[in-house]
Amino acid sequence: MSKASPLEALRDWLGSGALIAISGRVVAAIAIVGATYLLVQLMQKGFERLRRHAKAGSPLIYIFEKVVGYALMVAGLVAGLATLGVDLNSFTVFAGAIGVGAGLGLQGVVKEFVSGLVLIFDPAIQVGDFIELESGLRGEVVEIGPRATRMRTNDDLNVVIPNSKFMQSQVINWTYNDQSGRIHVAFSVAEEADKAVVRDVVMAAAHALPFTAPDRPDRKTQVWLTNFSGDGLDFELIVWPTLESSRHPSSLRAAYTWAVHEALRTAGINSSSPQLDLRLRSLFGQEGEHALHVLDMADRRRATPREPILESAPNDAAAAVFDDAVRNSRARDAEPRRREKQA
């Protein structure tokens, strides 16, 4: 019996209808995976709209959105493989065989994915929180992905950080539990300044800024004397800002520093500066006023200094606090549209 040629074998296989059956399974598998992907995208858009309207439960909605999205994609891939006729039992054995080798190469990816899942369920860091990393980088958490977390800084820079960094380093959450933290603004005045007057002037300047939170029994604006020396008195303004303004610590601190300096200058309170006192007992056999006349300094000492002309300037940092808040609010509203374009 003569052996069939490869061309004849191919013709017989095509005539048997096997190609049509395989093509049908491939198309069905692609349709299943594609439909699953579209379903996940629609679900995420719906959950994003729900999170914008339900502020209180937005963290739980975000967790549900991510977990269900991952589960649906895995289910879609498994259904697609089953439609192709792949034996999932043998596939499991095969996956286990290559798992050790692939695991060595993908352990970094797996670590970031697991860290991302932990972050999603961790209430200490949530989407929308304003955080600060050990490196000093500050920004709002915009998205927690399977590999990295995206932050948006107050300079409108989007920074992508591996999820494991949040698990291995210290993170300051400025808006944890929807409460702001107090800030310390250091300043110094001349040693002869009246501490009571300094306190009243600085307290009034702090309360005049619109982003200073009203005093409460456990959250009060205060002025602390932290040190004193021959060079002057060192103070700290202790202030509790509003929650939204606490998302802009750099401009916030600059605004208070400007306000304190303006208030002290208007009140005639001098800043501290290193001083050297020189006591002259005699000069060329002369003492007191006669010694000063020798140096031609008596007239200068008696001269009345002219009052400097004080001109006030706008506090740009205070305006920047509100400008940053408006810009960040617009960026949050535009975030769903940005994701739709990427999809």
Check if the beta carbon of residue 310 is closer than 8 Å to that of residue 265: yes
Check if the beta carbon of residue 247 is closer than 8 Å to that of residue 168: no
For residues 197 and 318, membership in a common domain is answered with yes
For residues 327 and 189, membership in a common domain is answered with yes
Residue 187 in any domain: the answer is yes
How many domains does the chain fold into? 3
Share of the chain above pLDDT 70, in %: 70
For residues 56 and 199, membership in a common domain is answered with no
For residues 98 and 234, membership in a common domain is answered with no
Q: Give pLDDT, residue 299.
A: 53
Which of 2-16, 117-131, 264-278 is modeled with the greatest confidence?
117-131
pLDDT band at 95 (very low <50, low <70, confident <90, very high): low
Largest interatomic CA distance in the chain = 141
The residues with which 158 forms a beta bridge, in sequence order, are 152
Question: What phi and psi, each to the nearest 5 degrees, are found at residue 87?
Answer: -75, 110
pLDDT band at 254 (very low <50, low <70, confident <90, very high): very high
Using the 8-state DSSP alphabet, how is residue 305 labeled? P
Residue 138 in any domain: the answer is no
For residues 235 and 290, membership in a common domain is answered with no
Q: Give pLDDT, residue 233.
A: 92
Q: Give pLDDT, residue 220.
A: 92
* Rounded average pLDDT over 27-31: 83
Angle between helices 18-53 and 58-83 (to 10 degrees): 180
Q: Which of 103, 120, 137 is the last residue of a domain?
A: 120
Q: Give pLDDT, residue 264.
A: 93
For residues 46 and 184, membership in a common domain is answered with no
pLDDT band at 327 (very low <50, low <70, confident <90, very high): confident
For residues 197 and 110, membership in a common domain is answered with no
What is the average pLDDT score of the chain? 78
Residue 317 in any domain: the answer is yes
For residues 97 and 222, membership in a common domain is answered with no
Residue scoring higher pLDDT (60 or 223): 223
Domain that holds residue 188: 179-277+312-343
Q: Give pLDDT, residue 261.
A: 93
* Rounded average pLDDT over 20-45: 81
Q: Which of 71, 96, 120 is the last residue of a domain?
A: 120
pLDDT band at 229 (very low <50, low <70, confident <90, very high): confident
Q: How many CB atoms are located within 10 Å of the residue 144 CB?
A: 23
For residues 94 and 43, membership in a common domain is answered with yes
For residues 191 and 101, membership in a common domain is answered with no
Residue 183 in any domain: the answer is yes
Is residue 281 pLDDT above 50, yes or no?
Answer: yes
- pLDDT tens digits, 148-167: 899 999 888 999 999 999 98
Residue 165 in any domain: the answer is no
For residues 207 and 329, membership in a common domain is answered with yes
Residue 60 in any domain: the answer is yes
Is residue 59 pLDDT above 70, yes or no?
Answer: no
pTM of the model: 0.64
State the CATH number of the domain containing residue 199: 3.30.70.100
DSSP-H helix ranges across 246-297: 249-266, 289-294
* Rounded average pLDDT over 289-301: 58
Is residue 25 pLDDT above 70, yes or no?
Answer: yes
For residues 321 and 194, membership in a common domain is answered with yes
Residue 135 in any domain: the answer is no
Residue 211 in any domain: the answer is yes
Q: Which of 100, 120, 140 is the last residue of a domain?
A: 120
Is residue 294 pLDDT above 80, yes or no?
Answer: no
Lookup: tokens for 186 = 């250091």
- CA 196/CA 200 separation, integer angstroms: 6
One-character DSSP codes across 108-169: HHHHHHHHHHHHHH-TTS-TT-EEEETTS-EEEEEEE-SSEEEEE-TTS-EEEEEHHHHHHS
State the CATH number of the domain containing residue 89: 1.10.287.1260
